[in-house]
A = this chain, B = another copy of it.
Amino acid sequence: MTYCVGILVRDGLVMVADTRTNAGVDNIATFRKLHHFQGPDRFISLAASGNLSITQSVLTLIVDGLEDPASGRSETIYNQSSLFKVAQLIGRAVREVWRVDGPGLEEQGAFFDVQMMLGGQVGNGPMRLFQIYSAGNFIEVAQETIFFQIGEHKYGKPILDRAMNFDTDPLDALKIALISMDSTMRSNLSVGMPLDILFLRRGSIVPDIKYRIDPGEPYFHDLRERWSAALRAAHMAIPKPPYRVN
C-alpha cells in the first residue's frame, strides 16, 4: 500500500509520500513514489500509488515520450506547455498502459489500479495540483478543497480536515501532512519510512525543500513524540463525560 498527500495553499505546493510497497505482508520493499522532473522552465512532482508495474510504465512513457497521433511529435513531461497538458499526457499514458496490460491483469483477477497526484509549476502558468485516476481523467484542487490524498487515506484524513485552509503557511501544511503520515504509519503496517517530502514556493521552479526523511531523523522523531504527548494532554484536559441513564 501507499500513502501520499498533496496540498496547495496560497504560498505554495507541499507533497509527502511514503516509500513502502508490498505484495502481501511477506514481500515488502522500498520504492520511491514521489518523482520530480526538473527543466529550465519547470518543476513538476508526481506521486503514484497503486500497482507498481503500472506506475513504473506510466513514468517511462512520459519521460521517453508518447507520440502525438496528429503531429507525430514525441510528447514528454519536459515539452508540454502547461501543467494541464502534462496532466492530459499522463492520462494518455495511463490509458496506453491499460491498452497493453489491462486485459492481461483482469484475466489474472488483478484490477487495474493506479492513482496519481501531479503538482508543480510550468513556465509562467499557475501553480496547480491534480489528482489523476485510473481512467486517465483528472480533477484539480480548489480554494475550498486544498488537498488530495492517494492510497491508504482514511487514517490521516481527520487531521487534514480540521487543521488547514488555503491561507495556512506552507511549512505548517507540511507539518500537518507529516502528522497525517505519522497517524497512518502507526495504524497501518503497509505504509512506512523513509518519507519523501517537497515544498515548492508558488511561482518558483526551485524547491525550498526536497528531502528524504530516513528512520530516526531527529525532527520527525521529535514531531511524533510531541504529537503523541499533545494528544494525551488534549484528551486529559477535556472533562469526563457527565452522562447517566436516559
Q: Which residues of A are at the interface with B, using a C-beta cutoff of 8 A?
A: 154-159, 161-163, 169, 171-172, 174-176, 178-179, 183-184, 186-187, 197, 207-213, 219, 223, 226-228, 230-246
Contacts and interface: CB of A to CB of B under 8 A. Distances in A.
A21 to B, nearest CB: 20
B234 A187 contact: no
A207 B212 CA distance: 52
Given A162-B186, A186-B161, A228-B162, A211 B155 contact: no
Contact of A211 (B235, B238, B246): B246
Contacts of A219: 239, 241-243
Contacts of A184: 158
A211 B232 CA distance: 25
A158 B176 contact: no
A245 B175 contact: no
A175 B241 contact: yes
Contacts of A228: 162
B232 A162 contact: yes
A227 B176 CA distance: 16
B174 A187 contact: no
A244 B175 contact: no
Contact of A210 (B211, B230, B231, B245): B245
B187 A154 contact: yes
A213 B242 CA distance: 11
B175 A158 contact: no
B155 A158 contact: yes
The residue in A231, A236, A240 that gathers the most chain B C-beta atoms within 10 A of its C-beta is A231
B235 A175 contact: yes
A161 B175 contact: no
A227 B223 contact: no
A60 B184 CA distance: 39
A238 B227 contact: yes
Nearest to A154: B154
A163 B228 CA distance: 8
Given A158-B183, A213-B243, A231-B231, 7 more contacts: A158-B184, A158-B187, A161-B186, A197-B241, A209-B244, A219-B242, A223-B238
Contact of A240 (B175, B183, B197): B175
A246 B183 CA distance: 25
Nearest to A226: B238
